[in-house]
């Protein structure tokens, strides 16, 4: 009786993990450059000062509890998360966590349309 032929197994091809695109961030300097390119009569310092003052005004509104709506961008809504109970993991003790202030962002429909 003849033995069946043994077929050598092919080595498994190495799968390289798919590389995800690194998230990009835009800092204020890049925004200053973009605005400066459109408004050649303004200096970088002037544009930076205007943007800084705008951000300060938005923060003032949010800290005072007023929602900020920026056309074609969205709405920033200040919220207060209620106090709650939490557990410390090492010993399991129940602790009271204080209320927390936060901001929710609701994007405009223009952002959804462009995505």
Sequence-ordered strand ranges (E) for 30-73: 68-70
Higher-pLDDT residue of 80, 23: 80
Look at residue 3 and tell me whether its pLDDT is greater than 90: no
Domains in the chain with CATH codes = 28-114 (4.10.520.10)
Please state, in angstroms and rounded to a whole number, the distance separating the CA atoms of residues 58 and 46: 18
Position 25 confidence tier, pLDDT thresholds 50, 70, 90: confident
Question: Which tokens in the block code for residue 101?
Answer: 């202030």
Q: What are the tens digits of pLDDT across the range 34-75?
A: 999 999 999 999 999 999 999 999 999 999 999 999 999 999
Share of the chain above pLDDT 70, in %: 79
Query: 32 burial class (0-12, 13-18, 19+ CB within 10 angstroms)?
Result: buried
Q: Decide the pairing of beta strands 84-87 and 94-97.
A: antiparallel
């Amino acid at each position: 009786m003849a033995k069946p032929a043994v077929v050598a197994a092919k080595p498994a091809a190495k799968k390289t993990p798919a590389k995800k695109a690194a998230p990009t961030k835009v800092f204020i300097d890049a925004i200053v450059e973009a605005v400066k390119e459109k408004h050649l009569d303004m200096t970088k310092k002037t544009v930076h000062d205007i943007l800084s003052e705008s951000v300060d005004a938005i923060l003032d509104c949010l800290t005072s509890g007023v929602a900020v709506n920026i056309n074609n961008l969205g709405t920033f809504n200040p919220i207060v998360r209620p106090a709650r109970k939490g557990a410390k993991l090492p010993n399991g003790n129940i602790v009271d966590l204080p209320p927390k202030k936060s901001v929710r962002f609701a994007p405009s429909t223009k952002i959804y349309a462009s995505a």
